[in-house]
Amino acid sequence: MDLPFFAGVDQNLLNQVAHSIKRYEKGITVHAQGDACESMDIVLSGSLVAYSLSPNGSENIVFEFHKNSIIGANLLFGNTNQYPMNIYCTDKCKLLHLSKSDVELLLHDYQFAMNFIVSISLNSQGMNKKIAIYRQKSLRENLLDYFSALSVEQNSKTVTLPISKKQLADYVGVQRPSLFRELKQMKDERLIAIDHRQISLFF
């Protein structure tokens, strides 16, 4: 298992682990809300999101997982180990699954234990950061932050949305009409120009 997460871990110990690797198609739910967490998963390729459903049926994307992300580490040993959200693939994915017993075995290795703790900490920080952002900032501020991050990532003032506008509305936690109104207002104020998924930034 030549992965960053296993860097420095005793190879003899790794050889005792009977991990499994599974492929998932885009749109497949890997873990449904309420399912028991029975494994720690490492994303080998693709991307996934954790989302909750509001009473009106809309999705609210809470967390994103990409290559080398860890899923389930924070739930595996908890008293309540059910997934609090649905986790599904936004792209074709390949996941490495480690059972709870395998993780318990690997935790005897100091380096693995440290990597495990760091992964839990990073996931917790990411979740707390998103919660704090949405509590403190307006919809416009969240959109400007998102577009700015895309601009840095794509090294361009004209960015391509990697998700649909419906998914963007879910991501920022609003209904689509609210998102469309704000985007139109930002366009009218010449902060942005929109052409389908292409967005030019003038701020």
Q: pLDDT: is 127 or 191 the higher one?
A: 191
Mean pLDDT of 188-192: 94
pLDDT of residue 135: 59
Same domain assignment for residues 111 and 163: no
Residue 24 confidence (pLDDT) above 80: yes
Of 132, 136, 106, nearest to 119 by C-alpha is 106
Distance CA 129, CA 42 (A): 22
Same domain assignment for residues 111 and 168: no
Question: Could you tell me the pTM of the whole model?
Answer: 0.63
Mean pLDDT of 136-163: 87
Mean pLDDT of 50-61: 63
User: Can you give the residue range of the structural domain that contains 173?
Assistant: 139-201
pLDDT of residue 109: 95
Q: Single out the residue in 136, 151, 168 at which a domain terminates.
A: 136
Same domain assignment for residues 117 and 74: yes
pLDDT of residue 60: 67
Of 167, 163, 169, 162, nearest to 183 by C-alpha is 169
For 111-142, write each residue's pLDDT tens digit. Answer: 999 999 988 887 777 666 666 555 567 889 88
pLDDT of residue 180: 93
Q: How far is CA 136 from the centre of its chain?
A: 21
Lowest mean pLDDT among 7-21, 41-55, 77-91, 128-142: 128-142
Q: Which two tokens stand for residue 3?
A: 């992965």
Same domain assignment for residues 43 and 22: yes
Same domain assignment for residues 194 and 108: no
How many beta carbons lie within 10 A of that of residue 201, not counting itself? Answer: 17
- The DSSP-derived string for 121-169 is HHHHHHHHHHHHHHHHS-HHHHHHHHHHHHHHHHTSSEEE-SS-HHHHH
pLDDT of residue 55: 47
Q: What is the CA radius of gyration of the chain?
A: 19
Q: How far is CA 196 from the centre of its chain?
A: 24
Same domain assignment for residues 41 and 96: yes
Same domain assignment for residues 85 and 131: yes
Q: Which two tokens stand for residue 99?
A: 């059972």
- pLDDT above 90 coverage of the chain, percent: 50
Q: How many domains does the chain have?
A: 2
Q: How far is CA 79 from the centre of its chain?
A: 23
Mean residue pLDDT of the chain comes to 87
Distance CA 169, CA 177 (A): 9
The long-range contacts involving 190-193, CB below 8 angstroms and separated by at least 24 positions, are: 191/144, 192/147
CATH code, domain with 102: 2.60.120.10
Scanning the structure block, which residue is given the tokens 């908890």? 78
For 58-103, write each residue's pLDDT tens digit. Answer: 566 778 899 999 999 989 998 888 988 889 999 999 999 999 999 9
Distance CA 85, CA 62 (A): 9
pLDDT of residue 57: 53
